[in-house]
Amino acid sequence: MTASETPAEALPDPAAGPEAPQPTGPVNRRLLLAERPVGKPGLQHFRIERLPIPEPGPGQLLLKTEYLSLDPYMRGRMNANAGYTEPVAIGGLMVGQTISKVTVSQHPDFAVGDRVVADAGWQDWLLSDGRGLRKLDPAMPQPTLALSALGMPGLTAYVGLLDIGQPKPGDTVVVAAATGPVGSAVGQIARLKGCRVVGIAGGEDKCRMAVEQFGFDACVSHHDDELPRLLAEACPDGIDIYFENTGGAAFEAALPLFNDFARMPLCGQVAWANATSLPAGYDLTPRVMRVFLHRRVHLQGFIVTDHLDSRFDAFLADMSAWVAEGRVKVVEDIIDGLEHAPGALSGLLSGYNLGKLLVRVEDTPPDAPLPPD
C-alpha cells in the first residue's frame, strides 16, 4: 500500500462549524450532488446531508460502509447526459461501490459481521433488502481487493484484454493509466500471457512503479512532450493491442504504431473526462479512421457491467489464483474520511493517486465528533 499524496480537501460540513451543534447521536452522512460541474469537479459541486440511521424491518439489513471505491466513471455520472446510464440527479446521492459490513440483519441470507460488496454510494450507512449484494469470503485477507483486482477494475482488464484483445505470446500490449487498477491488471495479465507490455503513465514515479512493482517491460510518461518518440522506441515491433482507457495524448502516440490486425478494447477516456469543449485545431478523425482501415483494426467499446453475468465467475477464479500466487499485485491509495471523497475524486481525474483509490469510511463512525474544517 502506498500512502496517499492526493491533496484531498475535505467537504465543509455545515453541522461541524463552530456555530453549529455537534451531532449527539449516530447519523448517516450522505454526499449529494449539489450542482453539475462544468470542467473539473470541486467541493462546491457536492453537499453533505445528515439523516438518521435507518432501521431495518423484516427482510432488510443495515450495512456500514467500510471502503468507498472512487473511479473515473463517476465524473460522467455527474453530467446531465451521462451517456450509457442515468446521471446522478441534482440533490441525489453520489453513486459508488463499497465494501460494507452487516451490522443488523433481519434477512435470512446475511448475518451480522458479513462483509459484502454493495452499491451503497457515498454514505455511511445503507438499508438494503439484500438485492445486488455480493458476499465476500470471510477468509479473504484483504477485502478491498474486491474493489480493485478482484472487482470491477479487474474484470474490466480481464474482459477487455482477454476477450476483446485476444493476446498471443509475443504481442506488444500498450495500456495507459498503467498504475491504475485497470491498467496495472491489464499489464500483469498480459505478461502472464507472454506479451511484451508497455505502460503509459503520468510521471516518473508512476512509470517506475509500473516497471518495478507491476513488472511492465517499459513505461513512458504522458507528461513528456516526447511521448510519441518514447513510445515508438519502447515498441520496436509496433502495437498489437492498445487497451484504451484514457484517450488523449496516449491514444495519439499509440495510433501510428498500430500493427496490422491490431485490437483496441475501449473502456474509458478519462483524459477527456473534464473537457468542456472539443479540442480546437484539427479534426483527427480522418487520420484515426485511416489507421483503423489500413491496419484492419478491431475496436470494441465495452462497459464492464455488461459482462458480469457471463464472465464474473471465470474471472474471479483466474484472478484470485493469480493474486494468491503473487502474479497479480495490487497497490492501493487509501484516503481516510468520507468527507474527503470529493477532493479525492477531483485528484483522481488529475492523476494524483498512485494505485487504486479508496476512501476508508469505517474510521469515522457517525457518533464521533466530526473533523474541523
Which residues lie near its own copies (CB under 8 A)?
83-84, 244, 247, 251, 260, 266-269, 272, 275, 277-290, 292-303, 306
Nearer to its own copies, 300 or 320 (CB): 300
User: Rounded distance, CA 234 to CA 232, Å?
Assistant: 5
Q: What is the DSSP string of 261-279?
A: EEEEEE---GGGTT-SSPP
Nearer to its own copies, 97 or 245 (CB): 245
Distance in Å, CB of 161 to its own copies, minimum: 16
DSSP 236: T
Distance in Å, CB of 296 to its own copies, minimum: 5
Cell numbers 465524473 label which residue? 75
CB of 83 within 8 A of CB of 354?
no
- For residue 118, the cross-strand partners are 98
Nearest-10 Cα torsion for 166, 170, 172, 177: 70
Distance in Å, CB of 262 to its own copies, minimum: 9
Q: What is the DSSP string of 17-71?
A: SSSSPPP-S-EEEEEEE-S--SSS--GGGEEEEEEEPP---TT-EEEEEEEEE--
CB crowding 288-322: b at 16 or more within 10 Å, else e: eeeebeebebeeeeeebeebeeebbeebbebbbeb
Nearer to its own copies, 3 or 278 (CB): 278
Nearer to its own copies, 24 or 285 (CB): 285
User: Rounded distance, CA 131 to CA 129, Å?
Assistant: 6
Distance in Å, CB of 253 to its own copies, minimum: 13
Nearer to its own copies, 125 or 251 (CB): 251
Cell numbers 480493485 label which residue? 148
Nearer to its own copies, 22 or 81 (CB): 81
Distance in Å, CB of 306 to its own copies, minimum: 7
User: Rounded distance, CA 194 to CA 199, Å?
Assistant: 15
Nearer to its own copies, 51 or 275 (CB): 275
Distance in Å, CB of 167 to its own copies, minimum: 18
First to last CA, the chain: 27
Distance in Å, CB of 72 to its own copies, minimum: 12
Distance in Å, CB of 115 to its own copies, minimum: 32
Nearer to its own copies, 146 or 200 (CB): 200
Q: Is 327 exposed, middle or buried (0-12, 13-18, 19+ CB in 10 A)?
A: middle
Contacts of 13 (CB under 8 A, 6+ apart): 29, 48, 339, 370, 373
CB of 183 within 8 A of CB of 176?
yes
Distance in Å, CB of 268 to its own copies, minimum: 7
Nearer to its own copies, 292 or 312 (CB): 292
